[in-house]
Amino acid sequence: MRARSACSTAIGRSSSCRLALADESIEHTSMLADLRRESAAGAEGFYNYDVWENERVLEGSATVALTMAEQLGDRIRCSSPVGAIRISPHRCEVMLTTGEVLTAANVVCAVPAGPLRGISISGISDTKLASLHRQKSALAAKFVAVYDHSFWEGAGLNGVAYMEHNILGGVWAQSAGIMSGLVPPQRMGTYLATPRHHLGQALIDEVVDAFGDAAATPAKTYTRSWGTAPWTQGYVTAWRPGDVMGVGPCTARASRRSTCAGPTSGCPATWKAPCALAAASPAKSSPPADSPPSPPTRPTTGTAVSSAARIPTTPDVDSLLKPSDHVDPAHLRTAAPAETAATHLASADEKFSVGTWRAEPYAEYIEAYPGDEYTRIIEGRVTLTQDDGTTWTFGPGDAFTIAAGWRGEYRVDEPLLKQFAYYIP
């Protein structure tokens, strides 16, 4: 726009609109993406709320996923993060972070762009994989205020406001009595730096500045940090100049046994997108229509379908590690460490497990170690100081055991990556 000598008013209006939509700035947004968005919606102008907001679920879009999950019953697995997808000419394999392997004839992936990068995918072309990873999601957050009525209508207003100097980029009337607002990427720093116990009131005050005292007492408010949540890592699709052509047609085109349902047009297709992956068309044939229904099976936790599985090390294991809470806060002698883990195998009663654990330096004092553990260190250094003063230090390549009931200090001296086998009597 500046290259075409657009006036400052036009540039400012466009910038404000983008902030309200949690979009990138005009300098960082593809004009082709904007044109495709308008073409897909049939709207005229930058953003027509009547067109874009005309198909909504009253209870919220999450209702759609919850309703589908309820109808699918035992056929859907919740809280089962995926670590890897392997596509072959004969079948597809989906490896959970627990080490369990699911097989199917085809895979449909609807994981948002950010979490998708944490899944190891093999068996598709480098071109298609590059196009998937070229997609980006804007780091943003959402704020919702619920009122007993649409107070703005009484003042002859449509409930839309663009905000130049606030945390919010803008607000709009989501439905009757509900006002929504977005925190754009450019303001996420201020959003995250605001103390949690002050944040809600700070956002309400911004709505009051725009609409007056009638906005001061919502019945309920909600915030969702889509940009930092591990299952979303973003909000709407962010198309920078060159991204549309960089993604190209590969993402929209299904491979023989896999397809990725993602943002293939210029429209913000990942609004409120959950992290989901479905394995479809199972390789095992279904029973005849007149056969008696098979009893539902209860999936075992962390037990691999195959009889043997390789335990990955660096760098492959990093794609499997997820936030964990193995360290008991009551034992800490230092600040709580950042920690991640993956379970590769677990017994049906969950008393025995094999896994990988990564942690930053910290120290804890353990009165009675809860189980028997075998440890092999891959990276980092650990010092154990027994209650009688005996000290051991272990580094890369070392292996050691700790018996249930051991008492002493467990100190991670250097960033640690270890494999473990653990049994709780």
Geometric angle at alpha carbon 143, from 138 and 145, rounded to 5° = 155
Q: Residue 126, Cα to own-chain centre: how many angstroms?
A: 24
Residues 6+ apart with CB under 8 A from 204: 145, 215, 216, 218, 221
Under DSSP, the state recorded for 198 is: H
Query: Could you give the dihedral angle defined by the CA atoms of residues 339, 112, 237 and 147, in that order, rounded to the nearest 10 degrees?
Result: -80
- 260 close to 251: Cβ distance less than 8 angstroms: yes
Q: What Å distances lie between residue 137 and 49, 260, 348, CA to CA?
A: 21, 16, 38
CA gap 378, 311 in Å, rounded: 12
Q: Which amino acid is at 334?
A: T
Residue 203: strand, helix, or coil: helix
- Token pair belonging to 224: 């969702």
- 327 close to 336: Cβ distance less than 8 angstroms: yes
> The pTM is what?
0.54
Predicted confidence at residue 137, as pLDDT, reads 83
Question: Starting from the edge strand earliest in sequence, which strands make up the sheet with 258-260, in order?
Answer: 258-260, 106-109, 277-280
The residue written with tokens 């480098």 in the block is: 126
Predicted confidence at residue 60, as pLDDT, reads 61
Residue 19: strand, helix, or coil: helix
Predicted confidence at residue 240, as pLDDT, reads 76
CA gap 325, 90 in Å, rounded: 39
Radius of gyration of the chain from its Cα atoms, rounded to whole angstroms: 26
**Cα-Cα-Cα-Cα dihedral sign, residues 282, 284, 285, 290:** negative
- Token pair belonging to 252: 């929209």
DSSP 30-91: -HHHHHHHHHHHT--SS--HHHHTSS--TT-THHHHHHHHHHHGGG---S--EEEEEE-SS-
Closest by Cα among 205, 195, 199 to 224: 199
Domain residue spans in the chain? 316-423
CA gap 192, 228 in Å, rounded: 9
CA gap 337, 177 in Å, rounded: 43
Predicted confidence at residue 253, as pLDDT, reads 45
- Token pair belonging to 139: 């780091």
- The pLDDT tens digits along the chain (425 residues) read 667 777 777 777 777 777 777 777 777 777 777 777 667 666 666 566 666 665 566 556 667 777 887 888 777 777 788 989 988 777 788 998 888 888 888 888 888 888 888 898 888 878 878 888 888 888 899 999 999 999 999 889 989 898 888 999 999 888 889 999 999 988 999 999 999 889 999 999 999 999 999 999 999 998 888 888 888 888 876 777 777 777 765 554 444 444 554 433 333 333 333 333 433 333 333 333 333 333 333 333 333 334 577 888 877 788 889 888 888 888 899 988 999 999 888 887 778 999 999 999 999 999 999 899 999 999 999 999 998 889 999 999 999 999 999 999 999 999 999 999 999 88
Reduced to 3 DSSP states, what percent helix, strand and coil does the chain have, rounded to the nearest 5? Answer: 25, 30, 45
Predicted confidence at residue 254, as pLDDT, reads 43
Closest by Cα among 93, 80, 96, 86 to 320: 96
- 208 close to 216: Cβ distance less than 8 angstroms: yes
Closest by Cα among 232, 224, 268, 227 to 29: 268
Give the fold, CATH level 3, of 316-423.
Answer: Jelly Rolls (2.60.120)
CA gap 180, 167 in Å, rounded: 13
**Cα-Cα-Cα-Cα dihedral sign, residues 159, 162, 165, 166:** positive
